[in-house]
Structure 1
Amino acid sequence: MKKLTSIIRYSLLACLFSTVHPVAAQVSGQSAVNAPQQSANVSEQRELFKKAEYAARRGRIAEYNQLLKQLENYPLTPYLEMERLQQVGYLANEDRVVSFLERYQGTPLDWQLRQPWLDYLAQQGEYQRFIRDFRHPGTLTHQCYLITAERAGGLEDGPFIRKVDAIWRHGFSVPSACDGILNEWADLDARTKDKVWQRLVLAAEEGNPTLIPYLTRLLPKREQYLGELYHKVRYSPAAIGQLSRFRGVDPAKEAQIATFALTKLIWRAEELALKSYEKLVSRLPFTAAQRHTIAEEFAVALSLKEHPEARVWHQKVPPSELDERVLQWRLAAYLRDHDYAALKMTIQTLPPAIAGGNQWQYWLARAMEETGDQLNANRIYADLAKERHYYGFLAAARVGAPVSLEKDPVKATESQITALLQRDDVKRAYEFLQLGRDVDARREWNHLLSDIDGEAFKTAAVIASDWDWHDQAIWTLAQIGHFDAVEIRFPMAYSEIINLSSEKYGIDPAWAMAITRRESSFRADAYSGAGARGLMQILPGTAKLLRNDDSFKRLNTPEVNVALGTYYLSSLRERFNGNHVLATAAYNAGYYKVRDWLPSEPTALDEWVEMIPYYETRDYVKAVLSYQQIYELLNGKEVNLFDAFATMKVDDN
């Protein structure tokens, strides 16, 4: 399939949108191509759209209607209609609302109008209309409104009970809209003690523990101690040390509570957890699954704490129950003990699907090397060196092989690109991007991805890349596991800003680019749950420490964010005596955490990375080092940075 040049793609964009976004094409190493100048007509329409939207929200009907006449065929016009429908009496506009919902069902426009429309119908008691216009799954509130409407329409007891059962099975408080059906459900004697217990467990282990006292009161009197015990150990797992709390009324439920408590206690007080288990195991009827759960958690926690019994608990986890977390800490335990013979034996007994993975192949080779089997170790290293991967780069360094990029550029035909560009959701996404409304643009793009097949995903990634919408291009390819389109997945985004700032603070631009790629995928408005913002995910508090000005207020500005991020990287590297691997870990976990993790004796870097306690930081370091290597290669530097990593040792000196 012949790949389009950027010139052809931009011509298509110009024809379909009358304007294009000037970008530098990054597909398959093509040179930069500037887009044609924006059409004055489309630029004017964008301004008119903003004015019309404001007029709709303010109820300026005459002004809105006048502006709407000038926006014929503009892609975002449906959003104006949605705004207008939200501002007027609903039943008076029922036909228009229903027609709009039918036309845009399943699109981002749908739920933005359907939700307030359903709220209105429920509040007005318009049950038949509600049932007609409800679409699954809806919110929990709307699900309860639906059951209320169906019950009013004659829903029989059996189906009613089954539907309310699903509402009941939540570990959190349910909306007040559910109160009526829950009360009626209870009056039908559908709230059995088993259902109460089921919800109590959900509240204790996965939900809101403040529900436990309420649910405890719903249990039979002689079983209420179980709820009280669950509530106690939810906040204080050490309470299981008092065996008198286990009254023997329901040993199976007591074992369930003990399992939960033990898996929490092992992280807080390992010696008490070990002693408590020894007392409880002969007293309570733990199931095989519960014993496995306890063994897994004990093995991981004790490995992390470098406890001498860690390996004993690892042996209690049956091969059928091994997961990535347990295996990671089993590996760490062997590395900490320098027991390469046991490591080799363990890997060779793993299921082939696991043992064949890059990580385990690398450590099998390392174990062979350490136990004198250099020939077989080199054979594995040579195979791994063909992979564009952290372990592939490490393997290449250990045998002096060249590193591999495994490039496979995404290709798209003119007809494939044209077909996507003609879609309404793509047009709306593009217009929202031009208006700087990235959240709305992403909603439209996600709708596109939900409605296309795997081959079209590649075309969509090409389009997003050409729009300089790098985070969505990367995300789009990730959805189909197409990881070899290196130029799209690792764009030279914001390169001028990153290069200038890196030069100013004396760090490798490829390192800064790799950090940015990992942190935000080049999404300038990225915002984490912890409050980190922008391209390099800087916390406002960190920004205040780094610079005594108002930079913390402008973290979504690329120049400000990159300046702070590169300066922070430089200062971390300096604090770690020039070791940028430790600085990378500290950028994610914090300086003092990494200091705590440094071994007292010199330890090989690859071993230390595997023993990083935080899985997020462990994966982060591997990814950033790999990305840095990829960017060096894309910049034409035929060097393996892992040559230094393969021989590097770290300690707390």
Structure 2
Amino acid sequence: MKSTSSYKKVKENCFTKDKLLRAFIPLLFIFIITPSHANTINTQRQDYLEAKKAFELKQYKKFGRIANTLKDYPLYPYLRYNYLRKRVWKEKNSDIIYFLDRYSDLPVTNRLRNSWLKVLIRRGHWQTFLDNYIKHSDPMMQCYQLYARMKLNKKEFLLEDIRSIWLTGKSLPSQCDQPFEMLYKSGLVTNELVWKRFRLSMQNNEIGLATYLSRRLNTESKVLARKWIQIHKNPYKHTRKPNLTDNETSREIIAHGILRLAKKNPERAVKRLETLKIKYSFASSEIAEIERMLAIYAAKKKSKIASKLLDQIDNYHVNDEIFHYRLRTALLKKDWGLLKKWTTGEPNDSEINLRWSYWHARSLEETGETEKAKQIYIKLAKERDYYGFLAADKINKPYSMNHYPVTNDKEEFERISSLPAMKRAYEFYQLDMNTNARREWHHALNKMTTYQMQMAAALAVKWGWHNRAIITMSRAKALDNLVLRFPILFDDLLTKYAKRNNIDRSWVFGIVRAESAFIEDISSPVGALGLMQVMPRTGRSVAKQIGIKNFKKSKLRKAETNVPIGSAYMKMMLDKFEGNVVLATAAYNAGPHRVLKWLPKKACTENPDIWIELIPFNETRKYVRRVLYFSIVYDWRFKMPIKPMKDRMSLITPKNKKLIAKLSCYSIIEALNKKYIKEKKTTKTTIHNGKITKYSVKKGDSLWLIANRFGISVNDLLRWNNLKRNRPIKPGQILEINIKE
């Protein structure tokens, strides 16, 4: 990037008789030598907000006057940024270059740069574009940079750079067409190079691109390319007799087809591989990779051949994914001997060490080697972890919380505090501009060591910005300061609604910590909002049921609305699954309809540690473990007796006799037998002649909760009791439930 000293010269006599808008420019972009205003920080904050408002209202003279008094305020650069960004097509290049140079450490600076570069592209100012272009991840901007070099006849390494961008397995934007045309004319695009890109496109499932590239291949390669595309589209048909010469390329094409077939039918894929191995001389490493993927696809499909395929993988090559499918396969079959074999020795992947050890101990326990299992549990119980807590329960030992506060280095702490980015983050935080505050904070972390991040986390706590401390400690992988990582925030609100809904306070805190890390205004990629990450549709439904009026989606970003709704939904899930915290937690994350599908089918009860491992969704599986672990940590944080993990994890059973019969846990006759099923009794209900139940409404009840409790619909309740949907029910009100119907 080029920048001349003229851009940095102080200018005087700024105002002219031009329009007010133009009159402001010198005020905004040039340092004016005037006496500093003795504003307090609070006054500066108010002035900043006033300037921001004036700018939004296009009151540019007022904006310029206020901005000129804020040169020593940390957020002053943002006033300049906002003005330039809004008028990037009108401003002098020198003013923009000065800003880019002067405020290069601002996280938003490159946004301005990109906007300005696009203006330069439209104007055809290629030299200025190149002078100020920096390395970019956007292929469109990369290709504009190549085009600029073409226009300016800057040919040094140009073709090599074009080739580097061209060689990708993804389609590229039309802005790349002219540089690519130059590459094609150069003769550098050999048949070998086209084949290389063709392979990448096939590996990326970019069949349209692959088809286009195949036209540029020579006759021999074109035949191979067409065969590969055929095998991709119909692997079962075209791997039967591939009619390919035995060479490395042919084996790659066949392997591609085998794995495509395995996604739909792993049994057929295995048989096809056995046949093709005779004709094609696959290397042992090639076979090992194919069989590893076949094992994963077979395990995903719960195929009968999964155990055999997973067993063929050497423990050295077992990563988190393979171990998960081994564990799931063994647990589904209750094959403890196989699980013991698979967990013997040490894992090669340290990330799965605790999980591996726990399940090895469980397999030993189930196969009668209790003393060996106990020794593993003793060692594992020293860890502050979900599996460590489970192990401690097995041997009736207290949990190892292993809390180690960070020792602050006063000098380093002060240095971190004085960083311009930290000052800007603090000001945005004080002004409740949280997105900008977080952006500045994380931009600053990019240049910090692990220890400096811990100092930054301590600084965030000092400010009262606890959610940044949580995120920062996690990023630094400094996990032993439990006070910083598990703050007690929104305590009055969360405790109030935990009590109101009669649910465990630590469980509520565990959910909030897992969902949002106490970030009140957070939103997820799928649209969940606020502290308890409530989906708007769920929020609207629950709000109606608990009597919150005038619900708006935006209100979910405020704890005062989010917590009543989120905690009520937790209670609904807990009631739906008859007090089972594990199922309710899974339902909070994945939805109750999915959890009902995941209930055991071959037995009426399942151990909760096993059921959690069998959850199909990776996110939900980890989420349930995390919430249970967090709940225990919050018991410790509240300085209250810790409720053991085993007391939080009830046996997993189908919900009622109708569902048990449907899922074939027992025969239908057995399912209806009271010896096997004990129905949950409903409080304060009277049964008349086995037909009608009279139910007395309790505080906190809703039509949805009552209907769910009795396994009926809300419409049934409305019809039987002549109720209107928009009329709330009251405590003490008597409702009739038609059991016979």
TM-score, normalising length from structure 1? 0.86
The equivalent residue for 1:148 is 147
- Preserved CA contact (<8 Å) 2:239 2:257: no
- Report if the CA contact (8 A) 2:347-2:353 is conserved: no
Structure 1 residues 261 and 502: alpha-carbon distance in aligned structure 2, compared to 1, 3 A threshold: farther
1 CA distance for matches of 2:404 and 2:184? 60
TM-align CA RMSD: 2.9
Q: Secondary structure at the match of 2:641?
A: coil
1:408, 1:485 within 8 Å by CA — same for their partners in 2?
A: yes
Q: Equivalents in 2 of 1:219, 1:553: separation in Å?
A: 55
Question: Which one of 357, 380, 383 corresponds to residue 384 of structure 1?
Answer: 380
Change (3 A) 1:87 1:583: closer
Is residue 463 of structure 2 the alignment partner of residue 463 of structure 1?
no
Equivalent residue of 1:306, what SS?
coil
The whole-number CA distance in structure 1 between the counterparts of 2:481 and 2:532 is 23
1:529-570 C-alpha deviation (Å, 9 max, x unpaired) = 222222222222222333346344422122222222222221
SS in 1 for 2:92: helix
Structure 2 runs not aligned, ≥5 long: 1-37, 545-549, 661-741
Question: Do the aligned residues in 2 keep the contact of 1:403 with 1:640 (CA within 8 Å)?
Answer: no
Per-residue deviation, residues 61-113 of structure 1 (Å, max 9, x unmatched):
42222111232311111111122333446696333322221222243132022
Q: Which residue of the partner structure matches residue 590 of structure 1?
A: 591
Equivalences for residues 305-384 of structure 1 within 5 A: 305-351=301-347, 354=350, 357-384=353-380
Partner residue, 1:19: none
Other-structure match for 1:568? 569
Letter of the structure 1 residue corresponding to residue 583 of structure 2: L
Superimposed CA distance per residue, residues 188-235 of structure 1 (whole angstroms, 9 cap, x where no aligned partner) = 12333343333344444436544333233333355445555655666x
User: In the TM superposition, what is the alpha-carbon distance from 1:426 to its structure 2 partner?
Assistant: 0.8
Distance in 2 between the 1:390 and 1:559 partners? 31
Q: Which residue of 2 aligns with 1:28?
A: none
Match of 1:628 in 2: 631
Letter in 2 for 1:219: L
SS where residue 190 of structure 1 aligns?
A: coil
Amino acid at match of 2:217: L
Structure-2 change in CA distance of 1:137 and 1:618 (3 Å): same
Pair 243,209 (structure 1): closer, same or farther in 2 beyond 3 Å: closer
Q: Secondary structure at the match of 1:547?
A: helix
Partner of 1:211: 209
Return 304-313 or 577-586, whichever deviates more.
304-313
Q: Find the aligned partners of 1:132 and 1:178 in 2 and give their Cα distance.
A: 20
Superposed displacement of residue 636, structure 1: 1.5
Matched with 2:726 is none
Larger Cα Rg: Structure 1 or Structure 2? 2
Q: CA deviation at 1:402?
A: 0.4
**Per the alignment, do residues 336 and 120 of structure 1 end up closer, same or farther by CA in structure 2, a change over 3 Å counting?**
same
Structure 2 counterparts to residues 536-551 of structure 1, below 5 A: 536-548=532-544, 550-551=551-552
Aligned partners of 1:48, 1:229: CA distance in 2, in Å? 69
Count of residue correspondences: 612
> How far has the Cα of 1:398 moved from its partner?
0.4
Partners of 1:251 and 1:327 in 2: how far apart? 33
Residue 69 (structure 2) pairs with residue 70 (structure 1): yes
The correspondence of residues 39-118 of structure 1 with structure 2, limited to 5 A, is 41-56=40-55, 60-88=59-87, 93-118=92-117
CA contact (8 A) 1:608 1:650 kept: no
Partners of 2:235 and 2:258 within 8 A in 1: no
1:618 equivalent in alignment to 2:621: yes
CA distance in 2, matches of 1:307, 1:52: 66
- Richer in helix (by share): 1
- The higher-RCO structure (CA 8 Å, 6+ apart) is 1
Partner Cα distance (1:408, 1:574) in 2: 38
Distance 1:77 1:245, change over 3 A: farther
The question of whether the paired residues in 2 share the 8 Å contact of 1:53 and 1:80 is answered with yes
> Which piece of structure 1 moves more, 637-646 or 552-561?
637-646
| The 10-residue stretch of structure 1 (294-303 or 205-214) with the greater mean CA deviation from structure 2 | 205-214
Cα contact 1:57–1:83 (8 A) shared by 2: no
Paired letter, 2:51? A
Name the CA distance, whole Å, in 1 between partners of 2:184 and 2:465: 52
CA-CA distance at 1:162 after TM superposition:
2.0
Which residue identity lines up with residue 211 of structure 1 in the other structure? L
Structure 2 equivalent of residue 197 of structure 1 = 195
One-letter amino acid of the structure 1 residue matched with residue 569 of structure 2 = Y
Partner residue in 2 for 1:29: none
Q: Report the counterpart of residue 123 of structure 1 in structure 2.
A: 122
- Determine the C-alpha separation between the residues in 1 that align with 2:388 and 2:308: 32
- Secondary structure at 2:108's aligned position in 1? helix
Deviation track 1:138-183 (CA, whole Å, cap 9, x = no partner) reads: 53233222223334444447x2222112211333332333222111
What SS is found at the alignment partner of 1:409? coil
Q: Which runs of 5+ in 1 are unaligned?
A: 1-38
Q: CA deviation at 1:405?
A: 1.3
Cα–Cα, structure 1 residues 491 and 61, in superposed 2: closer, same or farther, change >3 Å? same
Alignment of 1:224-373 (within 5 A): 224=222, 226-227=224-225, 238-243=234-239, 246-248=242-244, 252-284=248-280, 286-351=282-347, 354=350, 357-373=353-369
Q: What is the match of residue 609 of structure 2?
A: 606
Q: Is the 8 A contact 1:526 1:535 kept in 2?
A: yes
User: C-alpha distance in 2, partners of 1:470/1:392?
Assistant: 27
Change (3 A) 1:205 1:43: farther
- Identity fraction in percent: 29
2:547 matched to 1:535? no
* Counterpart-to-counterpart distance in 1, 2:256 and 2:56: 52
Q: Distance in 2 between matches of 1:409 and 1:507?
A: 31
Cα distance, 1:389 vs structure 2 = 0.3
Verify the 8 A CA contact 2:531 2:563 in the aligned structure 1.
Answer: yes
Q: Distance in 1 between matches of 2:57 and 2:257?
A: 56
Q: d(CA) in 1 for partners of 2:253 and 2:589? A: 35
Task: Tell me how far apart the structure 1 counterparts of residues 312 and 571 of structure 2 sit (CA, whole Å).
Answer: 45
Question: Following the alignment from structure 2 to structure 1, what is the Cα–Cα distance between the partners of residues 194 and 474?
Answer: 41
The one-letter code sitting in structure 1 at the alignment partner of 2:381 is A
- Cα distance in 2 for partners of 1:92, 1:553 equals 37
How far apart, in 2, do the equivalents of 1:355 and 1:93 lie? 54
When residues 133 and 458 of structure 1 are mapped into structure 2, their CA distance, relative to the original with a 3 A threshold, is same
